[in-house]
């Protein structure tokens, strides 16, 4: 199931990355306007995205550990997480294919976190150093973006802190190309953004993938029920055999 989550998170990040340009592109463009060498601007863009990665992975680890802890007291906790993960993959697929925004409600959690972290922005802006770029990336990772916090919800179903961190790392990898190129190739990215067929195909693949993933825990649950029924029937039949003797 972890592989399915990682693939879905990467696809969501890659095909939804035009949304990331709208959210984070402005700060990346600041690197282009500064009076520094091309190498320095590139280094700052890399540092900014490294900061985003640190924030996403940290959030994924926390979400994955929290989800595992929440389900640890339930006998069917793992199956519940798998079903939730599959449903989230399907919803993300509809988000990409039809722009349903079915998971927009998760932005509420992001807005609360951003409200607490945003005052720290004054310590990293303007971005004059690599360290400040990393800090800006970490802070801007907390922007109340439905796509990001949908991926966090996906990470929470991973069943462990390691899985949650891996899901968010895959999501970051998916968003990376668009944000690395946002400064140098904004026009090309805008043309790519105008082609919704990419999102529709990706969304359809994710929906199919989610339905397949959903069938596994549902069939497993049904199998457990049949096994329990057979076991119960055998236990019930045993006294009848003994009484005949």
Nearest Cα neighbor of 159 from 210, 207, 217, 228 is 217
Q: Give the range with max mean pLDDT: 30-44, 68-82, 167-181, 204-218.
A: 167-181
Q: Which range among 8-17, 27-36, 216-225 has the greatest average pLDDT? A: 8-17
Judge whether residue 232 has pLDDT over 50.
Answer: no
In this prediction, residue 1 carries a pLDDT of 65
- Domain range summary for the chain, segments of one domain joined by +: 2-226
Query: Does the pLDDT value for residue 185 go beyond 50?
Result: yes
CA atoms within 13 A on the CB side of 1: 27
- Asked whether 71 and 77 are in contact (CB, 8 A), the reply is yes
Pick from 4-13, 24-33, 165-174: least confident: 24-33
Query: pLDDT value at position 190?
Result: 55
C-alpha 191/C-alpha 180 separation (Å) is 16
Picking from 217, 198, 196, the residue whose alpha carbon sits closest to that of residue 206 is 198
pTM, two decimals, is: 0.75
Least confident of 11-20, 77-86, 100-109, 234-243: 234-243
> Measuring CA to CA, which residue among 151, 109, 155, 117 is closest to residue 135?
117
């Amino acid at each position: 199931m972890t592989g399915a989550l990682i693939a879905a998170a990467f696809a969501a990040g890659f095909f939804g990355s035009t949304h990331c340009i709208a959210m984070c592109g402005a700060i990346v463009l600041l690197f282009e306007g500064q009076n520094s060498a091309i190498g320095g601007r590139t280094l700052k863009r890399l540092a900014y995205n490294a900061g985003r990665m640190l924030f996403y992975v940290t959030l994924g680890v926390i979400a994955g550990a929290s989800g595992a802890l929440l389900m640890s007291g339930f006998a069917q906790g793992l199956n519940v997480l798998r079903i939730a993960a599959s449903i989230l993959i399907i919803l993300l697929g509809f988000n990409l294919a039809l722009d349903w925004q079915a998971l927009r409600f998760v932005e509420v959690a992001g807005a609360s976190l951003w409200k607490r972290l945003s005052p720290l922005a004054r310590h990293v802006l303007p971005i004059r150093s690599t360290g400040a770029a990393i800090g800006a990336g970490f802070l801007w990772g907390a922007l109340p973006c439905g796509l990001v916090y949908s991926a966090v919800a996906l990470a929470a179903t991973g069943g462990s802190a390691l899985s949650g961190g891996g899901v968010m790392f895959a999501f970051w990898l998916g968003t990376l190309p668009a944000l690395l190129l946002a400064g140098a190739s904004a026009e090309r990215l805008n043309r790519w953004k105008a082609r919704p067929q990419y999102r529709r195909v990706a969304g359809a693949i994710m929906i199919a993938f989610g339905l397949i993933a959903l069938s596994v825990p549902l069939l497993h649950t049904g199998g457990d029920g049949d096994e329990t029924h057979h076991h119960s029937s055998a236990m019930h039949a045993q006294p009848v055999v003994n009484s005949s003797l």
